[in-house]
Structure 1
């Protein structure tokens, strides 16, 4: 079992890593600006699920495999980049004035679809792998045994922090979108800006270098 001191130290490290705007934050903001607050909140849930699934795979042994295989790491990284670029392009293509997107317009997406999208982004976010392969293991107590169980328990800490911070960003971006919705032309611009933000996530990941 983990101790309160382990969880506390882990929380401090995660706040620094997660709270600073990165791919997840830019993705959530982009979704809020392009699709609205409800979609962004569903994307936050999906992103958290995806990030935690990374922790599960690391706990089950993928972490050491990724350390040995640069090819596998790069394959996962570039799959995520390609998906983000596709999402951004779709948001730009379907950006419409409010009157055109009311009801069942092209920017309406089911909560489950948003959760699925967020999950894929969380799974392919290199930051998730850095967190669970470089940060979380530092707080494992070898004397306590069962390192896999410790990783799974410690992984709940960044999961909660990520949910809180990303939700805050989603609500703020969603509120800005509503405030600017008075002009249909502005909403088209906002949708395109959201798409560009998502593309920016992919570009930033692509130029961020390797895992080291």
Structure 2
């Protein structure tokens, strides 16, 4: 497999995986709809940073530890499930009663970056996915470490494009989506989705 063939195959596969609905999509959509594009962008950057960390770990071989060690996988799995459960319960039971302007929300940007980051770092499925998925696209004769990390960066780039599209798609409906009743409904729906992903992650087997 040549470099061109490798990159084209990876772009196709990674693009399909990127647009498949998951925790990251739900988090970015909810944040964009109820708290504005800047907060959603910070959440997206946190998600991307988490993917980059996993990319580094997999490139240097530490990701294989998560894939091979039952203890490491289980600890991360339950940590991620508890974290998603905490996020989901907060949104479900304590939806935002008042939707603030983006200017009023500027101080919470770090919090949304952290939520996106932790959501990925505490998900061992991402590490296992990178360990099993990325090496398939390394052409023969190439150093796997830098090439694998390059593929992870490409995956992050695709994710950022997708999150940008999601954020822009909510802008025409921002006034409607930021109404208190609609915002509460979105919070509760997103909370239920995150709880579902928490259960799915907790029940994941190697």
> Same fold judged by TM-score > 0.5?
yes
Structural RMSD (CA):
2.6
**1:178 positional shift:** 3.0
The residue aligned with 2:135 is 137
Q: What does 1:32-181 correspond to in 2, within 5 Å?
A: 32-92=32-92, 93-98=94-99, 101=100, 110-144=108-142, 146-173=143-170, 175-181=172-178
**1:119 positional shift:** 1.0
Q: Deviations over 1:115-146 (max 9, x none)?
A: 122111122234422431111011113412x3
The residue aligned with 2:183 is 187
TM-score of the aligned structures, taking structure 2 as reference length: 0.84
Contact 1:23 1:205 in 2 (8 A): no
**Bigger shift: residues 183-192 or 130-139:** 183-192
Query: Relative to structure 1, is the Cα distance of residues 147 and 58 closer, same or farther in structure 2, using a 3 angstrom cutoff?
Result: same
Query: Relative to structure 1, is the Cα distance of residues 174 and 116 closer, same or farther in structure 2, using a 3 angstrom cutoff?
Result: farther
Query: Relative to structure 1, is the Cα distance of residues 102 and 15 closer, same or farther in structure 2, using a 3 angstrom cutoff?
Result: closer
Kindly tell me the number of residue pairs found equivalent between the two proteins.
Answer: 204
SS at match of 1:110: helix
**Bigger shift: residues 45-54 or 73-82:** 73-82
Runs of 4+ in 1 over 6 A off after TM superposition: none
TM-score of the aligned structures, taking structure 1 as reference length: 0.82
**1:174 positional shift:** 5.7
In structure 2, the gaps of 5 or more residues are none
Query: Relative to structure 1, is the Cα distance of residues 172 and 197 closer, same or farther in structure 2, using a 3 angstrom cutoff?
Result: farther
Contact 1:18 1:162 in 2 (8 A): yes
Q: Deviations over 1:47-103 (max 9, x none)?
A: 0110111010111111321232122112112211111111222334152033xx458
- Give me the whole-angstrom Cα distance separating, in 1, the residues matched to 2:165 and 2:29: 10
**1:151 positional shift:** 0.9
Query: Relative to structure 1, is the Cα distance of residues 164 and 204 closer, same or farther in structure 2, using a 3 angstrom cutoff?
Result: farther
**1:13 positional shift:** 1.4
The residue aligned with 1:16 is 16
Contact 2:38 2:102 in 1 (8 A): no
In structure 1, the gaps of 5 or more residues are none
The residue aligned with 1:201 is 197
Query: Relative to structure 1, is the Cα distance of residues 46 and 23 closer, same or farther in structure 2, using a 3 angstrom cutoff?
Result: same
- Give me the whole-angstrom Cα distance separating, in 2, the residues matched to 1:200 and 1:34: 21
**Bigger shift: residues 58-67 or 28-37:** 28-37
